[in-house]
């Protein structure tokens, strides 16, 4: 016999106690906890927003640490866990295709594009509800948005273990939209296009 649980209850079962201490990144709860902490550790308002093309190392390559865009927040947070999205996304592109590339695969830039991270998360992580219910968005979750008048711009961030000052059941987001790598109360500020756990 099976019982369907509300998503908010299922999330509690999956994540358990958010104060749980664990360093095993193979455990989804532990990875989410560690990813949230890693994202929080990246706070730096001095980071200059710069999405230009840079020739970088592979694997574990990064643009200069004084610059970055929204995707670099996600990439850098996972790197603190020893997870290299640059390599993982490049290998997935080569082995499986199906990414929306403007030209041939490029290990210097492909992982720095929101749609490519979304494709990787959809294939290798868990895709979750994008309904605007704050109970569904937990620390360590990856969220993508559509922005702009015509929703032509993509954005990405990480839900972190810091509660909203305005809404007691809502967490804040670590992202970079031009004001540095910052934590802001902006989860539902734009149209959510993706919600993932990886």
Query: What DSSP state is assigned to residue 6?
Result: P
- Per-residue confidence in pLDDT tens, the chain, 198 aa: 333 333 333 333 344 444 556 788 888 889 999 999 999 999 999 999 999 999 999 999 999 999 999 999 999 999 999 999 999 999 999 999 999 898 899 999 999 999 999 999 999 999 999 999 999 999 999 999 999 999 999 999 999 999 999 999 999 999 999 999 999 999 999 999 999 999
Would you say 34 and 25 are in contact if contact means Cβ atoms under 8 Å apart?
yes
Retrieve residue 51's tokens.
């999405």
Strand partners, 160: 172
Pairing relationship of beta strands 171-175 and 153-163 according to DSSP bridges: antiparallel
The distance between the two most distant Cα atoms of the chain, rounded to a whole number of Å, is 55
> For position 21, what pLDDT does the model report?
63
Look-up: residue for tokens 């104060």? 19
SS3 content of the chain, % helix, strand, coil (to 5): 30, 20, 50
> For position 63, what pLDDT does the model report?
98
Q: Give the class (CATH, top level) of 7-16+25-197.
A: alpha beta
> For position 102, what pLDDT does the model report?
81
Q: What is the pTM of this model?
A: 0.89
């Amino acid at each position: 016999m099976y019982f369907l649980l509300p998503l908010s209850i299922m999330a509690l079962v999956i994540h358990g106690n958010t104060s749980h201490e664990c360093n095993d990144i193979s455990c989804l709860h532990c990875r989410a906890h560690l990813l949230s902490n890693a994202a929080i550790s990246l706070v730096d308002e001095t980071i200059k927003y710069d999405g230009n093309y840079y020739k970088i190392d592979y694997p574990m390559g990064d643009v200069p640490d004084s610059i970055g865009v929204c995707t670099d927040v996600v990439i850098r947070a996972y790197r603190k866990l020893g997870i290299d999205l640059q390599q993982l996304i490049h290998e997935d592109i080569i082995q499986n295709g199906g990414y929306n590339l403007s030209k041939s695969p490029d290990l210097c830039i492909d992982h720095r594009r929101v749609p490519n991270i979304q494709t990787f998360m959809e294939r290798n992580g868990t895709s979750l509800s994008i309904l605007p219910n704050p109970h569904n968005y937990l620390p360590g979750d990856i969220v993508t948005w559509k922005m702009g008048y015509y929703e032509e711009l993509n954005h990405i961030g990480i839900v972190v273990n810091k509660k909203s000052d305005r809404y007691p059941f809502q967490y804040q987001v670590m992202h970079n939209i031009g004001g540095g790598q910052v934590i802001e109360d902006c989860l539902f500020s734009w149209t959510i296009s993706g919600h993932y756990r990886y």
